[in-house]
């Protein structure tokens, strides 16, 4: 099941990589954020560089203002059907930086922040 660190890309809708940044809720929902070109979101509190993940080929930023609460089972079903492409999971160190950025981002809603836990 899609869980913290799961990386995926929606087929046919841009080239953005999404990552799950929360454990599933009791209802099976997870918080997801996507990456974008750093030039498009210079104020993001979390910027990633080439090598931080196999998908990243240019300086990237985590787009907290587009965060979504999605059903983990739906992500899994879309991966199985080919509508979503699975990518390697994010490493714990990069996840820690992404989640830390979520807590200081002015663009991440408090309701979505409430689902997150800091990684020690």
The per-residue pLDDT for 12 is 64
The per-residue pLDDT for 109 is 93
The per-residue pLDDT for 67 is 96
Q: Measured between alpha carbons, how far is 38 from 70 in angstroms, rounded to an integer?
A: 24
* Number of other CB atoms surrounding residue 120 within 10 Å: 5
Selection from 52, 50, 59, 58 nearest residue 19 by Cα: 52
Q: Measured between alpha carbons, how far is 52 from 86 in angstroms, rounded to an integer?
A: 17
Name residues of the chain where pLDDT drops below 50.
none
pLDDT tens figures, 75-92: 999 999 988 899 999 999
Average pLDDT over the chain reads: 93
Q: Measured between alpha carbons, how far is 58 from 49 in angstroms, rounded to an integer?
A: 7
Q: Measured between alpha carbons, how far is 29 from 27 in angstroms, rounded to an integer?
A: 6
The per-residue pLDDT for 119 is 81
Provide the whole-model pTM.
0.93
Q: Are the beta carbons of 23 and 30 closer than 8 angstroms?
A: yes
The per-residue pLDDT for 13 is 57
């Amino acid at each position: 099941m899609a869980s913290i660190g799961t990386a995926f890309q929606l087929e046919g809708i841009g080239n953005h990589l999404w990552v799950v940044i929360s454990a599933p809720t009791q209802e099976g929902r997870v918080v997801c954020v996507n990456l974008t070109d750093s030039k498009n979101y210079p104020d993001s509190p979390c910027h990633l560089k080439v090598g931080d993940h196999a998908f990243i080929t240019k300086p990237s930023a985590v787009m907290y203002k587009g965060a979504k609460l999605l059903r983990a089972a739906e992500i899994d079903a879309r991966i199985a059907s080919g509508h979503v492409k699975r990518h390697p999971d994010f490493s714990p160190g990069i996840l820690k930086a992404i989640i830390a950025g979520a807590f200081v981002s002015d663009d991440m809603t408090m309701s979505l922040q409430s689902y997150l836990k800091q990684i020690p």
